[in-house]
Amino acid sequence: MKMRFVDEFRNPELIRKTLDEIERIIEPDDHFRIMEACGGHTYSIFHFGLQELLPKNIEFIHGPGCPVCVLPPGRVDEGLEIASKNSDVIFTAFGDVMRVPGKKGSPLNYKAMGTDVRMIYSPLDALNIAMKNPDKKVILFAIGFETTAPSTAITVLKAKELDIDNFFVYSNHVKIVPVLKSILDQPNMRIDGFIGPGHASVVIGAHPYETIAKEYKKPVVISGFEPLDLLQSILMLIKQLKNGESKVEIQYKRVVMEGGNVSALEIMNQVFEDRPAFEWRGLGAIQNSALKLKPEFSKWDAEVQFNVEKITIEENKDAQCGEVLKGMLKPNQCKLFGKVCTPDNPVGALMVSSEGACATYYNHLYSTMSL
């Protein structure tokens, strides 16, 4: 049956049929640990109550697919230090960055203290601010997986075309496959399969995940975000695991193509190159896991033009973000969860974004308790 509308992916009869199929093929002794690599999937799993519907021997491991959550706090401080020390600098960032805690506070805290911090909805918003304020230097705090990197690349190309010399990119774009490999390389790590991210895969396609399936023998199913999307993806994963298979499949075929978005990839490759290594919050340095501007675009590279000094911040040792990201702990097992660390007062990065595993757990736990 061809499905075209969102409500069709929430059809109770189809959901029940898929759940019945999952229950039919799972045996009592089975125990599958499935990592959803995308924060949007974590949110959907809780929002639609899928954990309560599925058999208890399917365990979800909440992966590193929230770019705000894996950003080292020092990176935010580095960008904000430039703006706070220079009255002619405007710091721009997406809304979910605004509450990320650094050593001296979040971007919102800096804004309250007088630093020119502005929230944007698109990288082009930052470029427009630069064009309207030629006497100011505008820093775009660019963040995100491959999902958002093409829009940053397009904006850099537009700045070059228009010869805008007061616009700079502070790139924090990261890549999904290197971090999945890093997690699998962790000692005593047991993950049976992956629900592959939907949005990043729109750009990169299915091919980059082949290394996960072939080298690590872990199946990957790229999923959409509706309840039926996720249940179908789980069913596909379990069928592979029961058959001893490890391949990459696309459930989200209405959006994701095998080869990805060729135009977006070409634009990314034109502007960006891999960093030799990049520090991930709770995971450490991972090789070739992030993107920086190529030397020919150094005119618009904030790290080059402002000679950014690296800031290293020792994280709160009681905030167990790393263990949660690696699947070693559930969010509510963290010492600070729901006590010191809440969405209103995030100590760890996983509590900052609505797609962070801890924020999702917290909102789900306390919304159900209030019923």
The alpha-carbon radius of gyration of the chain (Å, integer) is 21
Query: Is residue 255 in a domain?
Result: no
Q: Using alpha carbons, select from 185, 259, 190 the residue that is nearest to residue 222.
A: 259
The band of 370, judged by pLDDT with boundaries at 50, 70 and 90, is very low
Res 4: pLDDT = 65
- CATH number at 61 reads 3.40.50.11750
Tracing tokens 């992956």 back to the chain, one arrives at 194
- CATH number at 281 reads 3.40.50.11740
Which residues are bridge partners to 143 per DSSP? 172
Range of the domain at 270: 70-174+260-305
201-207: average pLDDT: 98
With b meaning 16 or more CB within 10 Å and e meaning fewer, what string describes 121-146? Answer: eebbbbbbbbeeeeebbbbbbbbbbb
Query: Is residue 1 in a domain?
Result: no
How many structural domains comprise the chain? Answer: 3
Q: What percent of the chain has a predicted confidence (pLDDT) above 90?
A: 68
Pair (235, 322) in one structural domain: no
Query: Is residue 267 in a domain?
Result: yes
Query: Is residue 2 in a domain?
Result: no
Q: Per residue in 40-76, pLDDT tens?
A: 999 999 999 999 999 999 999 988 878 888 888 788 8
Dihedral sign of CA atoms 185, 189, 191, 195 in order: negative
pTM: 0.91
Q: Per residue in 213-259, pLDDT tens?
A: 999 999 999 999 999 999 999 999 999 999 999 999 999 999 999 99
Pair (238, 103) in one structural domain: no
Q: Per residue in 130-173, pLDDT tens?
A: 999 999 999 999 999 999 999 999 999 999 999 999 999 999 99
Q: Average model confidence (pLDDT) for the chain?
A: 91
Pair (85, 170) in one structural domain: yes
Residue 1 has pLDDT above 60, yes or no: no
Pair (122, 208) in one structural domain: no
Pair (51, 111) in one structural domain: no
Query: Is residue 189 in a domain?
Result: yes
Is the model more confident about 32 or about 313? Answer: 32
Is the model more confident about 205 or about 82? Answer: 205
